[in-house]
């Protein structure tokens, strides 16, 4: 069984179990994968989800109820259940293969765009908004 198949097998009967309840070895595989790779979080439409992907945040239903917890390894039955509940997209962790120089360039470009958008004099509220957006973009790009 491949690592990907073992990760997908971590959720039993369509229910994502906490790490201490998953099948033997699955927690170690997931921990090794998460430490070995940098990841980024992206919202993907349900049609692009694949078994073995890891939820980056709790998946909530229309009424705010938790359907699946963060760090859950998605399997096909879970994805189908989300489809039946009309969930449109899921925040998942994907490998980040960018090197440090690429990240630096992307961060610098984003900061230049923000500086252009927020150019000129403004109010304290505008400066606060700029700082909040800049912090958010840095976090997204890091």
pLDDT digits (tens, 9 = 90+) for 107-142: 899 889 988 888 887 888 888 898 898 888 888 777
What pLDDT sits at residue 84?
Answer: 95
* pLDDT tens column, 60-93: 999 999 999 999 999 999 999 999 999 999 999 9
CB 68 within 8 A of CB 59: yes
* pLDDT tens column, 3-16: 445 444 444 444 44
Q: For residues 26-53, give the mean pLDDT.
A: 77
What residues contact residue 73 under an 8 Å CB cut-off, 6+ apart? 7, 8, 10, 11, 16, 26, 30, 52, 53, 54
Q: Which of 78, 28, 71 is nearest to 51 (CA)?
A: 78
Residue 102 vs residue 140, higher pLDDT: 102
The 8 Å CB, 24+ separation contacts for 18-21 are 18/69, 19/71
What pLDDT sits at residue 75?
Answer: 93
What pLDDT sits at residue 8?
Answer: 47
Burial state string for 114-126 with b = 16 or more CB within 10 A and e = fewer than 16: eeeeeeeeeeeee
What pLDDT sits at residue 12?
Answer: 40
The Cα–Cα gap between 11 and 51 comes to 10
The Cα–Cα gap between 55 and 49 comes to 10
What pLDDT sits at residue 27?
Answer: 52
Tokens of 100: 């440090």
Phi, psi (deg, nearest 5) at residue 72: -75, 135
**Residue matched to tokens 């994907």:** 94
> Full-prediction pTM beyond 0.85?
no
What pLDDT sits at residue 24?
Answer: 62
What pLDDT sits at residue 28?
Answer: 60
pLDDT band at 35 (very low <50, low <70, confident <90, very high): low
């Amino acid at each position: 069984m491949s690592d990907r198949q073992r990760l997908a097998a971590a959720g039993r009967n369509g229910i994502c179990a906490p790490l201490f309840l998953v099948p033997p070895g699955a927690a170690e595989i997931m921990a090794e994968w998460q430490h070995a790779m940098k990841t980024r979080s992206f919202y993907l439409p349900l049609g692009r989800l694949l078994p073995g992907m890891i939820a980056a945040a709790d998946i909530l239903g229309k009424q705010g109820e938790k359907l699946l917890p963060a760090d859950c390894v998605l399997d096909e039955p879970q994805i189908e259940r989300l489809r039946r509940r009309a969930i449109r997209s899921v925040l998942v962790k994907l490998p980040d293969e960018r090197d440090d120089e690429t990240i630096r360039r992307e961060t610098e470009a984003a900061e230049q765009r923000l500086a252009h958008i927020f150019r000129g004099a403004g109010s304290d509220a505008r400066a606060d908004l700029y700082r909040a957006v800049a912090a958010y973009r840095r976090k997204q790009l890091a």
